[in-house]
Amino acid sequence: MTYVVTDNCIACKYTDCVEVCPVDCFYEGENMLVIHPDECIDCGVCEPECPADAIRPDTEPDMEKWVEFNRKYSEAWPVIITKKDPLPDAEARDGETGKLETLFSEAPGEGG
Rounded to two decimals, the pTM is 0.96
Beta bridge partners of 28: 33
**DSSP of 78-99:** PB--S--PPPTTHHHHTT-S-H
The answer to whether residues 26 and 33 touch, using CB atoms and an 8 Å cutoff, is: yes
Domains of the chain: 3-81 (3.30.70.20)
| pLDDT, tens digit, 9 for 90 and up, residues 57-87 | 999 999 999 999 999 999 999 999 999 999 9
CA dist 31 to 43, 45, 53, 90, Å? 25, 22, 16, 10
CA-based torsion, 99, 9, 73, 43: positive or negative? negative
| pLDDT, tens digit, 9 for 90 and up, residues 12-63 | 999 999 999 999 999 999 999 999 999 999 999 999 999 999 999 999 999 9
